[in-house]
Amino acid sequence: MFISVVIPAYDEEKYLPACLQALWEQAYPADRYEVIVVDKASTDATAEIARRLGARVIHEPVKGIARARQAGFEAARGEIIASTDADTVVPPSWLAHIAAHFARDPGLGGLCGPVYWPDGRPHERLLMKYPVTWALALSNRMGRSWWVGSNFAVRTHVFWQVDGFRGFDPGGLLGDDLYLSAQVDRVARVLFDPDLVAYTSARRVREGYLNYLRRMAVSATRVALFQQPALPTPDIR
């Protein structure tokens, strides 16, 4: 099956090359997937780097990650859309793993896995590898799946069935992933696979560890339980 990989990016010239290199080294036929980078009005060489490294570039002039993901998903040609972030590196088996799940289960609407912080401090790496991963797995078991924007995939017709991110407040810079996972979980089966791992940067905790955890917890509650916009997140490069 053909897979579209969507990557929102704002001033990501530092991280994007490693992300794209990992995607072009996938153990999956090169003619069976595409990579789309959505440039959110970057002020650096993000778009130029993306083109040079073989990605399709979509320009989204309005800031906000939900708007960027929506633009990328709308441009996607695949029957499956996989989402990751510009500061994320996926293993070579990532796309093949995704394709195998959807091929094996025609009723599967969404798929997600854990995200690890390889560049975090020891306690941060442990936090993501265990408590956060357990929380994602538990939400899936309870039928209220949460997934992380840097590591999920959705069947394209299911994405359109729930109207994508259109119901998400564009002022919310965080929580679009939680919003979509909640919508998909209402109409189709979502699977959490602990072996579908992605490795992303721990740079977000630079805003302050306690502030980061507080914002994540409050945003998850607002989006997943009350369908309210998440708290805004600062741009950290």
Per-residue pLDDT reduced to its tens digit, 172-228:
445 788 889 989 999 999 999 999 999 999 876 665 555 656 656 666 666 556 655
Q: Which two tokens stand for residue 19?
A: 């992300």
Average pLDDT over residues 6-23: 97
What is the pLDDT at residue 74? 97
Go through the domains of the chain in sequence order and give each one's CATH number: 3-226 (3.90.550.10)
- pTM for this prediction: 0.86
What is the pLDDT at residue 202? 85
What is the pLDDT at residue 121? 84
Q: Work out the number of other CB atoms within 10 angstroms of the CB of residue 133.
A: 18
pLDDT, one tens digit per residue, over 40-98 is: 989 999 999 999 999 999 999 987 788 899 999 999 999 999 999 999 999 999 999 99
For the cut 50, the answer to whether the pLDDT of residue 236 exceeds it is: no
pLDDT, one tens digit per residue, over 127-160 is: 888 998 999 999 999 988 889 999 999 999 999 9
**CA–CA separation, 210 vs 155, rounded Å?**
36
For the cut 50, the answer to whether the pLDDT of residue 39 exceeds it is: yes
For the cut 60, the answer to whether the pLDDT of residue 233 exceeds it is: no
What is the pLDDT at residue 5? 98
What is the pLDDT at residue 150? 96
> Long-range pairs for 21-27 at CB < 8 Å and ≥24 separation?
21/53, 22/89, 22/90, 22/91, 22/92, 23/84, 23/90, 23/95, 24/53, 24/54, 25/92, 26/90, 26/92, 26/93, 26/94, 26/95, 26/96, 27/92, 27/93, 27/95, 27/96
What is the pLDDT at residue 123? 85
What is the pLDDT at residue 213? 62
What is the pLDDT at residue 124? 81
